[in-house]
Amino acid sequence: MDFKTLKKTTSALMVAAILLLALGLFLDLPLLTGLALAALVAAFALERKFHRCPHCGQYLRELPTEAEKCPKCGEGLHE
């Protein structure tokens, strides 16, 4: 999964989680609240697993999306 797709996917999951959480709390539906928590967990799991350098495996959480090279190994990120 490339970085742009990852960012869109995790952002969509987080927005969905916020909406589900608000709706679940407003309507007092525990199922929606549970789905919101599951969406948040999925977003964080995707972030931790795939937001890494493809060469050295360095976690790139603080790196801007438009970065071209890994700060640890210097290899290209979008190859």
What is the 8-class DSSP label of residue 54? Answer: T
Q: Is 41 helix (H, G, I), strand (E, B) or coil?
A: helix
d(CA 26, CA 68): 43
How far, in Å, CA of 67 to CA of 16, rounded?
A: 27
Q: Is pLDDT above 70 for 65?
A: no
Q: In the predicted model, what is the mean pLDDT of residues 74-78?
A: 81
Task: Identify the CA nearest to 11 among candidates 36, 33, 38, 43.
Answer: 43
Domain that holds residue 24: 1-79
The pLDDT tens digits of the residues spanning 29-61 come to 999 999 999 999 998 898 888 888 888 888 887
Q: What is the pLDDT of residue 40?
A: 92
Total domain count for the chain? 1
56 touches 73 (CB < 8 A): yes
